[in-house]
Structures are given as structure tokens and as C-alpha cells.
Amino acid sequence: MDAACEIVDIGVNLAHRSFQSDRKEVIERAFAAGVRTMIVTGTSLAGSQEALRIAGEYPDQLFATAGVHPHDSRNCSEETISELRHFATSKAVVAIGRVVLRVVQFRLPIGALFLRAVQSSLRPFSSNRC
């Protein structure tokens, strides 16, 4: 692998329960294969918290998103948004998740609420990867 170009996996679902038994091995295999950075996807409040926890085990290598999957958006409340905003203050959280991307597609009523959470919650994630 060219040292000037690093592989970044931008959507790993390592917070999912199916990875509980072998998560560390999966991460180590990815590193061994040349992946240098991974972004762990949070798809619910609990999943976002778990993504943040996992990212904390690998500082500056794993990062997290905080969000709610569109299928769970009906359960998204002001309290959920407040928690996601709190998660977004972490250095490890580099994105607010999927609801924003799917609001128009699914005509979800949560759109305006979620967009408020995004405002001023995140710092830009920048790097000179390739």
C-alpha cells in the first residue's frame, strides 16, 4: 500500500450486537489489511453510545457517528436529540447520522427536529488522507 494513501472505512457497523463476540478480532484484521481509520456507525441512541465507547478504545483510529436510523425516527424525541447533541461534543464523534440523509426520501416528520440538533454540534472532520 502506498504510504501516501490510507484506507478509511466510513461506515462500519461494529456497534451491532452481531460483533460482540469477535469485534476486537474484526478490528485487528482490518488494521492488518491496511485500514487505518474506521468510523463506527451509531443508528440509535444506544447504538450511538456504543459506537462512541468502541471508538474510545482506539483513539485517533476509530471515530463514531451519532444518529438514529430512519426506521427508528418515530421514536426520536427532543430528549433523543439532546443526547445526540451531547455525544457530538466528543472528539471521537465526526458525524451526525443517517436521519438527515433520509428525511426527504422518507418524508419523515423528524427532519426539522434533527436538523436543529446538527446545527453547531460538530467540528469539521478533516485530514490529508490521499
- 124: in domain: no
Question: Which CATH number characterizes residue 107's domain?
Answer: 3.20.20.140
Q: Is residue 57 part of a domain?
A: yes
CA distance 55 to 35: 15
Asked if residue 106 is part of any domain, the answer here is: yes
Phi/psi for 21 (5° steps) reads -80, -25
Q: Assess if residue 76 is contained within a domain.
A: yes
- The answer to whether residue 123 is domain-embedded is no
Kindly state whether residue 128 falls inside one of the protein's structural domains: no
Domain carrying residue 107: 7-118
Q: Give the count of domains, the chain.
A: 1
pTM score of the predicted model: 0.74
* Tens-binned pLDDT, residue by residue, of the chain (130 aa): 555 578 899 889 999 999 999 999 999 999 999 999 999 999 889 999 999 999 999 999 999 999 888 777 777 777 888 888 888 889 999 887 665 444 444 454 555 555 555 554 544 444 433 3
